[in-house]
Structure 1
């Protein structure tokens, strides 16, 4: 009996010790968050993310029309061409807001006009394919800069096709997410109509469910970008952390920009180009948020992971030239090891 009591007391002490250790470790992680954010900001500026954001905005504008044609073709298989156009505008409006979506609506009306003749169609498909991937190739190269890697010299042609094929995967993911979002939106409308008649109190909860679904969808999109586009091997736990923070900043920015645009005078200042300027402002902000999330992901991984960064086949690590960045990260790792 005494032996049993001793064993139970020992288990209780071990359990308390583990609990205290977990609490202490959690507190230490929380204390390090400001330092991690500071290191992220330093690397964000050092990698010239502001310049990369402007470049990505330009390539987004170029690639937008071809991407919309592809999305219309994919979703049109289920809903039909005209319905697909309306659904794409509705879904994009929900994600980026009403004002930037006006450019999307204008592009859909003009970009979906088909070419005539077999040769013209064949050439159009080729141009469509490569043009639609330009923004993702630019995004991929920017993310590789953030992670500090570059392709091995002497693989120029292979890298071109590799970049295009891998970027096409992201186009497919976006199309799939839009398709799923469209289906869920249709289901939501049916459920909402039914609930309005039979369960009026449930309508408020349905709005919360729709908002939660929207956040999940955009988080999954960011996670796929952080995981599959950079040519590094990174664990999902770091990817999901960065994607979650990025989606939160994305929706905060969406609210702030939408509120600002209600009082801004882009139309009177820029005339007919007002909607385009609004769209470029939104794309530039979204690009900066995306790059900040990528920086946060790689800094978090660099700080908390005990293994060295491993590039994928055909890529090598490059050394950071900024001593400020190196000193900042080294201090973070040393303070973590001391604890």
Structure 2
């Protein structure tokens, strides 16, 4: 028995070591596809789980729940307005009542409130103010959602205003349509198949098969909606494959949650004695919070699926010494400078990460340190999805010593230390003299003169 326990302990320790460390040391390029696939999947979920905790997704979901509650009426009003434009307003009403089954009073109250809001902005001098308030409220919610996604994707800046307007408007237009279609498509297709099967005998034989596959139509449409959100919301380029994987996983879990919520809602009437006509409110808040948790976990999956290969040797990077960090910063800066000198479009952090085969998180950390030191500057990229980077100074002034000095002097100085200490003054004097020697050394070259990666290989050969 003791031997078995020891074997189990050993197996547990080996598994833990593999998941936390060794799995990131595997070079996927050396593996066949059937060996690579499970490693990729494991890395994706490990990274997503870790990001879920590190990015404080619970806190972000709670904040989005709060903002959603504040804007629930304007959002429903906007959804009704769009649905009415396509002739789906009655279906929208049915969908909301179905979602709040057992608490029809709340559904009617929300519908009346949203309808009154729409009617109040139809005419008169208040039209402009009401319409602006409606759009502003929804834009604020979407902006907070974007900030949550940007935090997960480690993007420091939101979209510029005109891109916010165009992207958010497309979301406001597409999301209600997909939700309405997903709720009504199943009934519509089944009714159509039944009608045709009465006229064509062959359809009657395959009708049950069609009915079976039709059950998946709402899932497919929700997958499309989630995939669209995961591609559009972060202010960075998201690969379709990564967004699709996250969309399928999160969309499926969301549909299961929706099913459970609707069926559990019917039994909530037993709490009427405590909450009165608002018995649905606590359950609605729980559902809303879990919905945001699912959406944000899907964002973690999309990030992990796209960037898991950039986390190879991550523990080694965390324990990297200062000299190697400085060396890597110079390596990145050299790459940016030569791209700038060649007259090419400026690189994004994602592009640098791929070109130099460095973890994107580490690249962004070093780049923003160089920006704070005023060695690099941000500029919009071609698609405005994420910032690109250029030298902040003339390339004829950026030497090895210049960059190292900027990085070394970044942050607070030693003013809190006793300036009258003679030993400290002597050490500083020697250090300054040593730095002067480095500055005037023949090895203190301009980065632009060091050449590119290919040129360096040629020289070394």
Same-fold call, TM cutoff 0.5: yes
What is residue 239 of structure 1 aligned with on the other side? 243
CA contact (8 A) 2:106 2:278 kept: no
- Aligned residue among 44, 62, 79 for 1:36: 44
- Aligned residue among 108, 111, 115 for 2:111: 108
Structure 2 counterpart SS, 1:151: coil
What is residue 258 of structure 2 aligned with on the other side? 254
Distance in 1, matches of 2:258 and 2:294, equals 11
What is residue 63 of structure 1 aligned with on the other side? 71
Question: Using a 3 Å threshold, how does the CA distance of structure 1 residues 64 and 243 change in structure 2: closer, same or farther?
Answer: same
Post-superposition shift, 1:23?
9.4
The answer to whether the aligner puts 1:45 opposite 2:49 as a matched pair is: no
Question: Using a 3 Å threshold, how does the CA distance of structure 1 residues 256 and 283 change in structure 2: closer, same or farther?
Answer: same
- Aligned residue among 188, 191, 214 for 1:210: 214
Distance in 2, matches of 1:294 and 1:259, equals 27
Per-residue displacement from partner, 1:249-269 (whole Å, max 9, x unpaired)? Answer: 212323444455455554343
The answer to whether the aligner puts 1:132 opposite 2:133 as a matched pair is: no
What is residue 124 of structure 2 aligned with on the other side? 118
What is residue 223 of structure 1 aligned with on the other side? 227
Distance in 1, matches of 2:209 and 2:130, equals 46
CA contact (8 A) 2:100 2:265 kept: no
Structure 2 counterpart SS, 1:233: coil
What is the correspondence of 1:275-294 to structure 2 with a 5 Å cutoff? 275-294=280-299
Per-residue displacement from partner, 1:141-183 (whole Å, max 9, x unpaired)? Answer: 100000001128xxxxx83554344222211111332464477
Post-superposition shift, 1:140?
0.7
Distance in 1, matches of 2:54 and 2:102, equals 32
Higher helix proportion: 1
Question: Using a 3 Å threshold, how does the CA distance of structure 1 residues 286 and 30 change in structure 2: closer, same or farther?
Answer: same
Structure 1 counterpart SS, 2:156: strand
Question: Using a 3 Å threshold, how does the CA distance of structure 1 residues 165 and 103 change in structure 2: closer, same or farther?
Answer: farther
Post-superposition shift, 1:211?
2.2
Question: Using a 3 Å threshold, how does the CA distance of structure 1 residues 286 and 93 change in structure 2: closer, same or farther?
Answer: farther
Question: Using a 3 Å threshold, how does the CA distance of structure 1 residues 58 and 303 change in structure 2: closer, same or farther?
Answer: same
Distance in 1, matches of 2:196 and 2:281, equals 39
Distance in 2, matches of 1:43 and 1:101, equals 39
Structure 2 counterpart SS, 1:118: coil
Distance in 2, matches of 1:43 and 1:249, equals 19
What is residue 307 of structure 2 aligned with on the other side? 302
Distance in 1, matches of 2:103 and 2:146, equals 24
Distance in 1, matches of 2:162 and 2:275, equals 40
The answer to whether the aligner puts 1:163 opposite 2:164 as a matched pair is: yes
With structure 1 as the length reference, what TM-score do the two structures score? Answer: 0.71
Question: Using a 3 Å threshold, how does the CA distance of structure 1 residues 108 and 256 change in structure 2: closer, same or farther?
Answer: closer
Question: Using a 3 Å threshold, how does the CA distance of structure 1 residues 103 and 218 change in structure 2: closer, same or farther?
Answer: farther
* Structure 2 unaligned spans of 5+: 1-28, 311-352, 365-380, 389-461
Structure 2 counterpart SS, 1:247: helix
Structure 1 counterpart SS, 2:234: coil
Distance in 2, matches of 1:316 and 1:90, equals 44
CA contact (8 A) 2:186 2:217 kept: no
Per-residue displacement from partner, 1:170-219 (whole Å, max 9, x unpaired)? Answer: 11111332464477467436415526856777664454343211011111
What is residue 445 of structure 2 aligned with on the other side? none
The alignment's C-alpha RMSD in Å is: 3.5
Question: Using a 3 Å threshold, how does the CA distance of structure 1 residues 98 and 160 change in structure 2: closer, same or farther?
Answer: farther
* Structure 1 unaligned spans of 5+: 1-20, 153-157, 318-339
Distance in 2, matches of 1:202 and 1:93, equals 33
CA contact (8 A) 1:40 1:296 kept: yes
- Pick 1 or 2: higher relative contact order, CA cutoff 8 A, min separation 6: 1
Distance in 1, matches of 2:162 and 2:180, equals 27
CA contact (8 A) 1:218 1:247 kept: yes
Question: Using a 3 Å threshold, how does the CA distance of structure 1 residues 72 and 251 change in structure 2: closer, same or farther?
Answer: closer
What is residue 5 of structure 1 aligned with on the other side? none
With structure 2 as the length reference, what TM-score do the two structures score? Answer: 0.54
What is residue 192 of structure 2 aligned with on the other side? 191
Question: Using a 3 Å threshold, how does the CA distance of structure 1 residues 42 and 127 change in structure 2: closer, same or farther?
Answer: same
